[in-house]
Structure 1
Amino acid sequence: MSESVHTIATMPTARQAGCPFDPPKEFIEAREHGPISQFTFPDGHQGWIVTGYDLVRSILADPRFSSRREFMKHHPLVDLGDIEVPPAPPGEFLLMDEPQHSRYRKPLVGKFTVRRIRQLTERVEQVTAEQLDAMEKAGPSVDLVTAFAKPIPSIIICELLGVPYEDRGFFQENIDKFLGGEVGDEELMAAYVAVQQYLAELVAAKRANPTDDVLSDLLDTDLTNEELQGIALILLSAGFDTTANMLGLGTFALLQNPDQLAALRSDPEIVDEAVEELLRYLTVGKTFMRTALEDVELGGVTIKAGSAIILSYATANRDPERFPNPHALDLQRQNGGHLAFGHGIHQCLGQQLARVEIRVALPALVNRFPTLRLAVPADEVAIRPETADIFGVKSLPVTWDA
């Protein structure tokens, strides 16, 4: 290995004070040295962290790098010891390679096309208006996360999957626990088991009495109940948690950039560019992992077979070689192509749904409440820890002039 390759000593677990929107400074500094850095995992494994846009994108499209769960033997924060990591449960295709991955994803592709998701716009507008009405009635001070950011994607994804409305709170609470990075292992596992048990019962109920929803549509395939349960878990978790955090963190970012907030209010025509820029700037799905299946020459280094690789989506989306002035939020930025939804075969299946929800909800919020502002100093806003799978705000106290 070349002596010029940068080394990241420990996995960063905090963001810079007063600047929660930027990736950890260790990643930004690493990118300044080059697109790939060496990293020693807590168990002593010699792996890599990739921070450059082109390199992250190429790895995501390269079948020589695996997503399979059983290969994820090295954790960036803890030593797993000699524990045997099992394959992903049936249906949980994010942690699988081809051909298993396509067997689960292919039946879903038609359910999440641009045309089909845009047909949901009217329903997203209705749900958003209902939440804004409730906010105004409860205000003029609320926690935006519980009043706005969580309910909108939660209602929509539950309706898509045919989850009864009255069970929405159960999902919000338990998905927060196993994705939020703040509860102990025992509580996390209890939440995971509770959701799995519920989904098993839901799939069985759909099998007995299909309704008009994505889950019922999949009953015509050869997928087993257990496989449908795994697919439902992936869709429910990704369809709720990522968008909820984008809405909360996106509002925070706009309030901290009043010139950009004013631009969004004054020019509705920039909403599509604004959504893409917020996705790039915030990148709530901040890191993912891959394992090399063979020796690969990449970025001027040899990545050995079996090497664990951390891909920093957040830092790649701040790569100055791809995005001029990358640490600025510019809602009229024209050069898209961000990696907030990944790339390659695992590119986010629900990206069009997320786009519709964000492009409807954020403009509606800031136009409904023209005096919207933080109710606490910015450095007192509770931020999710870096250990969380998805980055965001835990709460966002806001107020406005009644």
Structure 2
Amino acid sequence: MMRSPAQELAQLQEQNLLRSLAQIEGGEVPWVTVGERRLLNFSSNDYLGLSQHPALKSAAIEATREHGTGATASRLVCGTFRYHRELEQRIAVLKETDDARLFANGYSTALGTITALVSKGDTVILDKLCHASLIDAARLSGATIRVFPHNQTERLAAILRNTREKSGSTTRILVVTESVFSMDGDTCPLAEIVALKNQYEALLLLDEAHALGVLGPRGLGLAEELGLQKQVDFQMGTLGKAAGSAGGYLAASQDWIDLLTNKARSFIYSTAPPPAQVAASQAGLDLICSSHGQKLREDLRNRIALLTSEAGLAGKLPATPIIPHILGDNELALSVSHRLRGQGLLVPAIRFPTVPRNTARLRITLSAAHSAEEISSLAAALKAFS
């Protein structure tokens, strides 16, 4: 007899891997309401607290007044508005590339980009901890997939050397990694990876999703912080985290962007992002690059330092707003998350397949919008449960 969904759900329940949706009400960063309970939110990627900023709201409202609520078609049909091109051009200038393309979200950016860049006969080399969207895109591309252990550049060098020796002159080799890894909060050794991709004539896609707004003098990410933007072939990012809006982008040279326009299926066959979303993203990006954005990043760094110090984690974790508290066991992670919620703190339990088996954890994310007192309350609760 064909297995039923109820059987699969029961199996997930037995493994403490069953997930469900919890409806929230927001409006006052960093607080949310779940049911009738008001909770301090330590699960959001709104690293600078911009999702409720008046400038973003005003930009979205003005764009809605001008163009309505939807783009009505894909970009290649009749869905390209001036908002799309203005934001793409702005991203290109900031990222020091010829052009950029907007996508509906980060997932569709990864799927459209990687499947357009490589195909059967080519090779994609991924860090083992790359986001699911990057892995899925590599699988869909039809290219050969190689994986190197997380941040181990010696192994990456060996794979690149072996792949280049066996490949033809027209073969593309694409290295894919993240600047800040979404579940561990650490950064990639970008300078070493750039040197290796140059040595072996490969291409590099860097996902800056969790670094935009957080790292770099203007908040443009790890590549900017290290002065390597011109050395990264494909700079990918999302506008739904620190930028406070939604959408994804890919910045590159003109030929590559033109190729994406013609081959990226998630771009070609998707209705364009609404003008209001794009206008809000532009406002968020402008704030990130401003003196106000610089002040918010300073506040964020202070919040990170405070939590790691008061929770006894100083020196053990990278200085990014993603702080993993690894517990290992699924049931334990769920139990601690539930107990924290009982104290008014929203801290999610992250389990397989989002993270490797036996590495279930609390994923704590901080925002510049958190006060010092709120950070201290979390630190005290974590110490009590450790």
Aligning the two structures, in what range does the TM-score lie when normalised by the shorter sequence?
A: under 0.3
Q: Higher strand proportion, which one?
A: 2
Q: TM-score, normalization: structure 2? A: 0.26
The structure where helix makes up a greater share of residues is: 1
